[in-house]
Structure 1
């Protein structure tokens, strides 16, 4: 995510590396590089200029402490200013009304229908709501079918009227259906177009007037950069939407839309899509995103994603098994499946401070777990539950059955044995605390 922008900002910061203090000359040179990096990332020109002018002014007004370098000080200022640029704080959905009507708007291909399914899943699982999806796209042939499939996937009902071609009537019917069935959230998926046109604007304005939504979310493909910002402005002028959803952010190496959209339309980014799975939807945190852009990771989001996938009861049971050295290949496979649900592997590793830069040129395949899962699937139930019983003869059979070779099976067995040993040690409070005491002290924050 935003890899190109990260690389260019790194090069810009090198101007100050080794400098004893901040001066008008070296800050001006650094700001010139940062402005160029932002423009290359497809950030709005006015936004980029205002941003670098603000950073320069704050940098020149700061005294550099002896304990930090000019580069570290500028990183801190950049972090604060990037956070402010993207909205400063989290902007929550207003879902206090019963039922809350949420209108989804945007162009074709932005991912409106998929987002509608993800939002329903999020509101049901994380907010304890009872959503209803309304299929309001009467033009795209597969739109209704797609929404129904997504509704089945996330176990959320979908209101459909295949007899009608009137999106306004369907939207109103959907709201009435929700009231009858006790649904406290109504998510209306609307039609998009290949480009902004008057018919689209008139139609969605009519849906808005008829349903009086409490939230209007504009969904946009983040990889379209400045086009996304321009489209957002056009929609906002007509709809006055309440928030933006940036989809496909996991594939966006530039970041222009995320950095520009708030300053241009003055509406908050509320959600970001980070993958194709229904769980791949995150609330947008400006401070965390700023930290990631500057290559400082995002441990909080990583922990939150992990907590979403790992059940407390299961974790307690697993802890008992680890203490008794009973952790087996069934448990191992379960852990792999839960990790895979957390999202793109390279994106996850980029959340760990210092790792993002280290792996920027490394190709991390999301299918890396497939050979491991194939090996485990080739084991008998007895073998999965009793790893120590897997002898040379069994390993050979497992290799043949999984389409791998004996070396790969042996390597997995050794790694699994080593992992079990470390896990058992760490589960013992006495040994764990001794290991922590013997570890070198971690360095403090760079600022």
Structure 2
């Protein structure tokens, strides 16, 4: 598909993340407007509440935009999703008869405050990037061999929805227990090996009943859209606590997502196949569609006081071993009820080359091989004041489908005991 033209001039630039082909969903506010749902188009945002109240954007029997989150739209089902996207495209397309009315409902993106785009019901993080899993095995166990189950099931753990925050939210360095290899007892204090994980997040748009499994194709149809996701990780806290039950406090202190939900419909032309399997997956994990997407990804680091950020890694979502639909299918196969607003983290996305590694743990090989920034500073893990930015876009013919930046800055640990 080529670029679709809009009467919003900035949406027709090859450089914008938000052409008419995209139409991602977010929540914004200004000094004069309380938080409300909006759709990004070029350098503007269409105010969905205002458009609905004016009768310009009515796609359901009941109001959808009288709340500052997109869960109402999700829960109304896929027929409403399709109607909404078609109606938005009609309103914003070049030559639209609605241009005059809709112009008054546009708000400049610059200067607005962006909020969580949806209420996150539950958060599950997967471990579905093969290169990352092999790298972690080599670092932690001295061998890149995978766990016996890894090539057969998407491994994951249930995280904390309460710790999921929108881009731009500062993250405090976590306190916790760690244990040095030569120490007899653990100690307490701020994490010294603070890391990021470059991931994609899939947002579930439909609920299932307790006890009811789903197929991969049904799971694919349930995914409302995608966000960039940074699952901040305290490697030293995680290393002491994770055996035998897996991540807990080392992962519970913060997960950042980009502010715009890019719909599955907007990414349809960018589907990519999952890789050839070492073993044939069990039949319940088979689907009829390509499950991954060709989305180029980048990680940038900017120390406090630096004039600009350094690009430290570039990779692609198509490097994953398991798709979001396969992960969602496996999540529900035992009868776990899924809820509209559930967030599934893909797991760290790393490619075969070191320049494609999606975590500092890999880029610095657990701190043993520090990397150099454009400022001349070196890093093994995050220092206080560092700002991390994730970027991603699927690139078409003269346009791109972008997500907006996923940004977080590290603040010092909270003093404990509290004073």
TM range (shorter): under 0.3
Larger radius of gyration: 1
Higher helix share: 1
The TM-score, its normalising length taken from structure 1, stands at 0.24
Higher relative contact order (CA 8 A, sep 6+): 2
Higher strand share: 2
